[in-house]
Amino acid sequence: MASRADNVASNLNLANFSKATELKNRIWFTLGALIVFRFLSFVPLPGVNPLVLEQLYEQTRGGILDIFNTFSGGSLERMSLIALGIMPYITASIVVQLAASLHPSLMALKKEGESGRKKLNQYTRYGTVFLTAIQGWFVASGLEAYGASSGLQAVVNPGLMFKVGAVISMIGGTMFLLWLGEQITSRGIGNGTSLIIMAGIVAQMPRFVTNLFEGGRTGSISGFTIIMAVTVLVVLVLFICFMERATRRLLIQYPKRASQHGMMQADRSHLPLKINTAGVIPPIFASSLLLLPLTISQFAGNSISPDTHMGSAIVTLNQYLAHGQPLYMTLYAIGIIFFCFFYTAVVFNPEETADNLKRNGGFIPGIRPGKSTATYLDYVLTRITVIGALYITVVCVIPEWWIGTTGLNMMFLGGTSLLIVVNVTVDTITQIQSHLLAHQYGDLIKKAKLKGRIR
């Protein structure tokens, strides 16, 4: 019966889609903003020779730079204005959220509601500018020395002016992406930041698929490897969809109330707790924290001689933290598990939920309202978060390890990329359905008011 009702609801939603003008405007705005993002990824930094840069990138392809390049939609490969993507903002938001959970004054700001949230967002923007400036300086310094061993020069006129111009350009590009993501969130459909990251990953997929089948045609990749890659892709997508829809439903009982026929009837409902409450945030946060120092070390290694102590230390660090290496995978897994628990604690407050239930007269059967309910909710949430953290860790780490072991240059097969694409797509579709339902109920209310006036 439930599935039948869902099908009827979906048919009604599709039928009303043509009438939902506001929803269509939001979708068109989102698509237009993502097109602007893609255009920006082709605008090179001033003073950079894109043809030489393409040759150099082909020589140093692989490792951590490919991950960063995938998340930025190929912007790093072309060294565009948005080469650093939205990652500095994500790193800054991690720092601010961690500080808001530890520092007393920031904790007080967090509890102030909308005004406190705006203040924390302002601190996040300042942190974004600071991190972008640091990363941009190391990227610009690395670009000047990029290709010195090959006799190629990626920068037309190296010097202080180029570094300053590159840093200012990258700060402007990252802040524009941040503004664009906020506009998508408020005037479009879905979460703007997540959609920008997803658009970058999706934009790289056709090239990766072409490389896979081209490798099969030339014989560099075996047919068995191609079949395994496609099988892993399909299985991962199905598994991610299943786990993202999985919930733990807690029975909520309400006091008996008089029904229309004069009989006392108890109301029941369910409190759904998602297995993966944190969503796609943990792998994004863990990736951004790893990419920040690794990007700096990768480009700093180009400007420092490997014969020096500093140069040899950077080379050793890059080797141990290369994509697919045990240390990189271990740190990545630890980061995912930590942010699963951290972000779940941020988005779900058991005490606040217990207070709301008590205020409305609801209770969990066998559990006393108030503090006991909050303790029970925390108990249940902690245990399902363990399952969610293990699920995200397996989905993100195992495929990444397999790609690193086989040497396939196919980052879109990585669990992180797939998790982001599937999760953001499901979330966006859910928001579209919510808008359609709101439009449908709005029409019903208008019709009811008109009938009331006629009578």
Is 169 inside a domain boundary? yes
Q: Which domain holds residue 259?
A: 16-440
Q: In the chain, how many domains are there?
A: 1
Identify which has the larger pLDDT, 296 or 95: 95
Is 448 inside a domain boundary? no
Is 452 inside a domain boundary? no
For the residues 301-330, what does the mean pLDDT come to? 66
Residue ranges of alpha helices (H) inside 219-325 are 223-245, 281-303, 309-320
Is 290 inside a domain boundary? yes
In this model, does residue 377 exceed pLDDT 80?
Answer: yes
Residue ranges of alpha helices (H) inside 348-370 are 350-359
For the residues 420-439, what does the mean pLDDT come to? 82
Is 455 inside a domain boundary? no
Identify which has the larger pLDDT, 440 or 444: 440
Residue-averaged pLDDT of the chain: 77
Is 450 inside a domain boundary? no
What is the per-residue pLDDT across 157-216, written as a single tens digit (0 to 9) for each?
888 888 898 899 999 999 999 999 999 988 988 888 888 888 888 887 777 778 777 777
Q: In this predicted structure, what is the pLDDT of residue 453? A: 53
Q: How far is CA 203 from the centre of its chain?
A: 15
d(CA 146, CA 139): 10
Is 426 inside a domain boundary? yes
What backbone torsions phi and psi does residue 257 show, to the nearest 5 degrees? -130, 155
For the residues 105-117, what does the mean pLDDT come to? 78
Nearest to 377 by CA among 355, 354, 397, 359: 354
8 Å CB contact between 173 and 84: yes
**CATH code where residue 178 lies:** 1.10.3370.10
What token pair was written down for 102?
């530890």
